Chain A
Amino acid sequence: EVEMVESGGGLAQPGGSLRLSCTASDFTFSSYSMNWVRQAPGKGLEWVANINQDGTEKYYVDSVRGRFTISRDNAQNSLYLQMNYLRAEDTAVYFCASGSGTWGQGTLVTVSS
Chain B
Amino acid sequence: DIQMTQSPSSLSASVGDRVTITCRASQDIRNDFGWYQQKPGKAPKRLIYAASTLQSGVPSRFSGSGSGTEFTLTISSLQPEDFATYYCLQHNDYPYTFGQGTKVEIK
Contact = CB atoms under 8 A, between A and B. Distances in A.
A95 interface: yes
Interface string A38-75: 00000011110010000000011110000000000000
A61 B93 CA distance: 11
Size bracket of the A interface: 10 to 19
Contact of A45 (B45, B94, B98): B98
Interface residues of B, number: 20
A35 interface: yes
Contacts of A47: 89, 95-98
Given A44-B87, A44-B101, A62-B95, A101 B43 contact: no
B89 to A, nearest CB: 8
Nearest to B56: A101
A69 to B, nearest CB: 16
Nearest to A62: B95
B94 A101 contact: no
B39 to A, nearest CB: 12
B30 interface: no
Contact of B96 (A35, A44, A105): A35
Interface string B37-77: 01000111110010000010000000000000000000000
Contacts of B38: 45
Given A44-B100, A44-B101, A103 B95 contact: no
A97 B87 CA distance: 15
A103 B44 contact: yes
Contacts of B55: 101
> Which of A62, A95, A97 gathers the greatest number of chain B CB atoms within 10 Å?
A97
Interface of B: 34, 36, 38, 42-46, 49, 55, 87, 89, 94-101
